[in-house]
Amino acid sequence: MTEVLVLAEHTADGEVKKVTLELLTAARRLGEPSVVWTGPGADAAQPRLAEYGAAKVYVADSADFAGYVVAPAAELLASLVASASPAAVLIAGTTEGKEIAGRLAVKTGSGVLTDAVDVTAADGAPVGEHANFGGAVVVHATVRTGTPIIAVRPNSVAAEPSPAAAAVEAVAFTASDAAKTAKITEHVVAEASERPELSEASIVVSGGRGTGSADGFGIIEQLADSLGAAVGASRAVVDAGWYPHAFQVGQTGKTVSPQLYVAVGISGAIQHRAGMQTSKTIVAVNKDAEAPIFEIADFGVVGDLFTVVPQLIEEIGKRKQI
Ligand SMILES: Cc1cc2nc3c(=O)[nH]c(=O)nc-3n(C[C@H](O)[C@H](O)[C@H](O)COP(=O)(O)OP(=O)(O)OC[C@H]3O[C@@H](n4cnc5c(N)ncnc54)[C@H](O)[C@@H]3O)c2cc1C
């Protein structure tokens, strides 16, 4: 079966990011997944990669990946594309991943699809599904030149285990001088939060302009903490300076797909929906019964959030005691 290269997103100590497991699941529809692992940590990750269907793991344990932004990863992938002739290369549709995909496309003279929300095969060729204009238009696209390179949005494909060998194959790699022109000079660790990471959380509670102020937004954090959830925000909240941009959900923010998404005081503009509409269950609290968020909500409460949410927190508290 033809190989499909999957560029792993991971931490230095071998923790595999959820998106990598999603890519492995999508890759199995196209051929036999081979993970491309950059830097250290592959030993610790091998069982997890095997669990999710990696037939092979190319390990390039070079310090160049941590030292020089994204160019070395594109260079490594280009050499593996030349040697393995894969059916496709799947990369996480993160900021870095999309840059790697673009660079790889140029290096290999291939077509690239970015922001795919699904990947399937038709007549033996990979097909990327793209949700455009905030999900209003769905486009299916194929690559007609070279090796299809597809950047898949995190949280778009449900990761499913499917055990395989994950046979490790060491790859010697040293980045060229051209790939070393942008050097990483410092790493700043983001302030750790007690709450789950927004993109990976199974419950997200998001607040919108309806919260009225930065102080008012505090009620969103309280509700999130009562549920053990991550906090999200609409762009209106971020633009007003009530909450940091890192927590924005939507077209120009993060894409989330939790089991439960609670939208509080959010109208449900198409650009917001683009980042959360694949959530499994959507609950909305809004005082306007005509708010568009109710069109996609599984459960809706029409009411003032400052009346509804405290009752909700109280009720959740009672149930926790049972
Ligand atoms: C190119 C582009 C990209 C964009 N990207 C994003 C993005 O990534 N994410 C994003 O979120 N937006 C994005 N937007 C902005 C988007 O169009 C909306 O303006 C934004 O989502 C509105 O945020 P909101 O729902 O919080 O505010 P509003 O639309 O003002 O809605 C506030 C809601 O709160 C309700 N409300 C008010 N008071 C209460 C109360 N006391 N109790 C209950 N309900 C109450 C109101 O009925 C209303 O429905 C983008 C726009 C553009 C043009």
Q: What is the DSSP string of 267-281?
A: ---HHHHTTTTT-SE
Question: pLDDT at residue 232 above 70?
Answer: yes
Taking CB atoms and a 6 Å cutoff, what residues make up the pocket around ligand 1?
208-210, 234-237, 248-253, 265-267, 269, 271-272, 275, 285-288, 291, 304-306
pLDDT tens, position by position, 198-208? 988 889 999 99
pLDDT surpasses 70 at 215: yes
* 79 CA to centre of ligand 1 in angstroms: 45
Average pLDDT on 181-202 reads: 85
Q: What is the mean pLDDT of residues 37-43?
A: 96
Residue ID of nearest Cα to ligand 1 atom 52: 271
Ligand 1 centroid to residue 228 C-alpha, Å: 24
Q: Of the residues 206, 217, 272, 285, which should be mutated to test ligand 1's pocket, given the most ligand atoms within 8 Å of the CB?
A: 272
Q: Considering all CA atoms of the chain, what is the largest pairwise distance in Å, rounded to the nearest integer?
A: 63
- Sheet strands (E) in the chain: 3-7, 32-38, 56-60, 88-92, 112-122, 125-132, 137-141, 149-152, 167-170, 203-207, 230-233, 260-264, 281-286, 299-302
Q: Report helix, strand or coil for 217.
A: coil
Residue 321 has pLDDT above 80, yes or no: no
Q: What is the pTM of this model?
A: 0.78
Per-residue pLDDT, 134: 64
DSSP bridge pairs for 300 = 284
CA of 213 to the centre of ligand 1 (A): 14
Ligand 1, atom 29, lies closest to the CA of 267
Of the residues 213, 271, 294, 296, which should be mutated to test ligand 1's pocket, given the most ligand atoms within 8 Å of the CB?
A: 271
Angle, CA 93 vertex, CA 87 and CA 99 arms, to 5° = 90
Q: How far apart are CA 241 and CA 160, in angstroms?
A: 39
Closest residue CA from atom 47 of ligand 1:
288
Give residue 293 CA to ligand 1 midpoint distance, Å.
Answer: 10
Query: 3-class DSSP state for residue 1?
Result: coil
- Residue 210 CA, ligand 1 centroid: distance in Å: 8
